[in-house]
Structure formats: structure tokens, C-alpha cells
């Protein structure tokens, strides 16, 4: 099956934005540093006998480390009629719609997750907090598709923050007042 045919089976394909950029830059720098160090191994004498094989090994180690860093470019989330297809750093999993309870982005976490029955979940590294507005848009898209394919699930109720008197508060004050109220 061609890539176009596979692409047509999904309503949306989501990938992180900043992490692959950082990973590619880091991988390039790792290779450059290891090759440079490998080339400079035989420049001076330190009492240790270093050979050409050591220089090649240093460059090869740089390539191996860079390849490991490039695994951070793999995360992807595909959403379609079949369900949610999650590919993280090493694994791939297709979650059928009847197994999905919710798609959430818990406060303080680095990436989203798919909530499953029995309090289980699968991390979704394709939607990351570092992407900020892109992550918000991606979550909105996934939740819209969740509502389409699982109309039996209710959207979580979002309640505004209130102070002790029950008056709504917004922004930074809401966070601070809620935190203070929890401490008292």
C-alpha cells in the first residue's frame, strides 16, 4: 500500500513540532563533536596509544548516539474511523474507539494521553506541552474527532475557578487563590 493510500485512511495525522527540530540539531551536534574529537585523538601524546581504530570508533559512537536521539522524531498520532494509532519512540499501537474512554492532557504533564478503561492510559508523545498553541489545537482536533466517533462519551465538565465566596476568578489569580485555598 502506498503512503497516499495509508494517509487517506486517517482523518488527521499529528506530530510534535519543536521536539523533532531539537532532536535533529542535537543529533547533528553530537556527530560533529564525536568526529572532531576522533580526529583530534592522535594530535598529542598523553602516554596512551591511540590508533586509527579508536578514531573511527569515536565517530561511530557519535553516529549511534545521534541515531538514538533521532528516535525522538518518531512520535505520531493518527485518528480515523479505525481508532487512534499511536506511535511513540519505540512502539506502535492501534486503539479501537470502543477502548477509548477519553483523551486528556493532565496538568503538569509533558504530553497528552489516551485514557482507557480500568484507569489505564497510553501516552501520546505526538501532542507535547512544549508546542503550546499547536498542542491546544491538536487536542481540540482529537476531542472533536472523539465526539464524532464516540458520541456516547460526554465531554468533561469544565468548571470555572471560584474563590471562597463562590465568585468566579480568572487567570493567574485563579491559580493562586485555588492553591492558597487548598493549603488553608
Q: Is the pLDDT of residue 51 over 60?
A: yes
41: DSSP letter: T
Q: Give the span between the Cα atoms of 182 and 50, in whole angstroms.
A: 62
3-class secondary structure, 127: strand
Q: Which helix (H) or strand (E) holds 69?
A: helix 52-70
Mind listing the pLDDT tens digit for each residue in 58-88? 999 999 999 999 999 999 999 999 999 999 9
Q: Give the span between the Cα atoms of 103 and 74, in whole angstroms.
A: 20
Of the pLDDT bands very low, low, confident and very high (cuts 50, 70, 90), residue 178 is very low
Q: What does the block give as the cell for 85? A: 494509532
pLDDT, position 45: 76
Q: Is the pLDDT of residue 3 over 50?
A: no
- Stretch 94-98: mean pLDDT, rounded? 94
Q: Which of 12-21, 36-45, 122-131 has the lowest mean pLDDT?
A: 36-45
The fold adopted by the segment(s) 75-149 is: PH-domain like (2.30.29)
3-class secondary structure, 168: strand
Greater model confidence, 174 or 169: 169
Q: Give the span between the Cα atoms of 181 and 108, in whole angstroms.
A: 19
Q: Is the pLDDT of residue 151 over 50?
A: yes
Q: Give the span between the Cα atoms of 1 and 112, in whole angstroms.
A: 30
Q: Is the pLDDT of residue 5 over 60?
A: no
Q: Is the pLDDT of residue 1 over 70?
A: no
**What is the C-alpha end-to-end distance of the chain, expressed in Å?**
61
Amino acid at each position: 500500500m502506498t503512503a497516499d493510500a495509508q494517509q487517506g485512511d486517517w482523518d488527521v495525522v499529528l506530530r510534535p513540532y519543536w521536539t523533532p527540530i531539537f532532536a535533529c540539531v542535537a543529533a547533528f551536534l553530537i556527530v560533529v563533536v564525536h568526529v572532531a574529537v576522533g580526529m583530534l585523538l592522535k594530535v598529542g601524546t598523553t602516554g596512551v596509544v591511540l590508533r586509527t581504530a579508536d578514531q573511527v570508533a569515536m565517530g561511530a559512537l557519535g553516529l549511534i548516539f545521534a541515531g538514538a536521539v533521532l528516535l525522538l522524531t518518531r512520535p505520531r498520532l493518527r485518528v480515523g474511523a479505525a481508532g487512534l494509532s499511536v506511535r511513540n519512540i519505540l512502539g506502535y499501537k492501534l486503539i479501537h474507539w470502543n477502548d477509548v474512554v477519553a483523551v486528556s492532557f493532565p496538568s503538569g504533564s509533558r504530553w497528552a494521553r489516551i485514557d482507557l478503561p480500568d484507569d489505564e492510559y497510553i501516552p501520546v508523545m505526538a501532542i507535547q506541552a512544549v508546542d503550546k498553541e499547536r498542542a491546544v489545537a491538536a487536542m481540540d482536533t482529537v476531542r472533536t474527532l472523539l465526539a464524532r466517533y464516540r458520541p456516547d462519551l460526554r465531554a468533561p465538565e469544565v468548571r470555572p475557578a471560584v474563590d471562597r465566596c463562590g465568585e468566579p476568578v480568572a487567570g493567574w489569580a485563579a491559580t493562586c487563590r485555588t492553591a492558597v485555598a487548598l493549603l488553608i
